[in-house]
Amino acid sequence: MKKKFTRAALIAVLAMIGNYSRAQSVITFVGNSSSNDINWDSAYNWDLHRKPQSGDTIIIPNGLSVEVTQSYNNLADVVIKVKPRAILYIGTSAMNGSLLLTGNSVVSLESVPGQAGAVIRSGGFRRSSNIIQINNDIKFQGNLSYPIGGRGQVNGPARADKTTGTGINGFVPGALPVVLSNFEAIVVNGKKVSLAWTTQQEINSNYFSIERSADGTNWKEMIIIRAAGNSSLPINYSATDDLPLKGANLYRLRMIDLDGTFSFSAVKMIIVNEASIISVYPNPASGVINITTGNIPATNWNVRLLSLSGQELIKKEINKGITTATISSVGMPNGLYLIVINDGVNSETSKIFIAH
């Protein structure tokens, strides 16, 4: 296993990937009808019995309402889907609320024929403090009059993300065309990279483009897969890169709509060396981390889990001839870590995001 990166280059790649890798779960608001509790902040108002966190697809079902009564400023890469006839209240008559989102976060207000569309509505208390923000750009503010809604209100179908405007132009007509639930890259037969993804929803989707980069800056379109077009059920897709690059292979999925608009998936990284292909998965990890070498090691080798400061947290020796190792991330705090693989002569480093 031959080391491919300088320390500075590795840190730059890890930092870039870290901006995209988040836990991905679907969490649905259920509320407590017996006590009329519709507060976002109550963990037991959600089907997973926890509050939404970074990377979640957050569902507010048809006909339900939820109130945001605090400032949430730590949600990255979330998709908030407000279903028809559902209402997302930002603040109430007595409290302010705000959703300060980052990364590739999206807020989507859905609509179907014959039903009222989803709504975002401001509470009456200090309206200007009731906001939705994505990457420091205000998308909704309770004291403004929106072109697709009244004062402090947006009616679906509409969506906001980092590409839409600010203020009264923060939301644009049309719901989110594609909702992606996962995107993964793993090694197959020690020499190919298999890519797989699942959509939970598609509205007028056109096609998917697999893009690859060696440095995270220059991207090349590698594979095009036709999309289903319209679907409300999960659909699985797959593709294979038969000739990955030597060194770092960064993959992302471009999702293109019929009108030419597009969005990107999270970025996944695979390391390819002349002697082997190293794959660390799943990423993010919540329980078990798998490390695959891609070819048969001639000597015993070891795997170490390190903190970003270099502190060794786990070390495991693997017998020669075994190509896959597993280590447990149970009990590890959420965050970024380093996986270091060493055969006694050469070493290779990869990044893992742990999110329970």
For residue range 257-286, what is the model confidence (pLDDT) as tens digits? Answer: 776 767 778 788 887 665 556 778 888 888
Q: For residue 174, which phi and psi values (nearest 5 degrees)? A: 105, 135
Report the chain's C-alpha Rg in angstroms.
22
234 in a structural domain: yes
58 in a structural domain: yes
Integer CA distances (angstroms), 5 to 2, 13, 295, 297, 348, in order: 10, 10, 20, 21, 9
The residues, any chain, with a CB within 8 Å of residue 48's CB and separated by 6 or more, are 25, 27
pLDDT in tens, 5-44: 444 444 444 444 444 434 457 889 998 766 678 999 999 9
Predicted model pTM: 0.53
Cβ atoms within 10 Å, residue 135: 14
- What is d(CA 218, CA 164) in angstroms, rounded to the nearest whole number? 24
Same domain, 33 and 130: yes
Single-letter residue type at 19? N
pLDDT in tens, 281-303: 888 888 899 888 766 677 888 88
Domain boundary among 173, 194, 222: 173
Q: In which domain, by residue range, is 132 found? A: 26-173
Same domain, 68 and 157: yes
What CATH number is attached to the domain comprising 185?
2.60.40.10
- What is d(CA 332, CA 301) in angstroms, rounded to the nearest whole number? 23
What is the domain count for the chain? 3
Single-letter residue type at 196? A
Sheet holding 335-342, edge to edge: 312-318, 301-307, 335-342, 347-354
Domain boundary among 217, 235, 266: 266
Domain boundary among 122, 145, 173: 173
Same domain, 54 and 144: yes
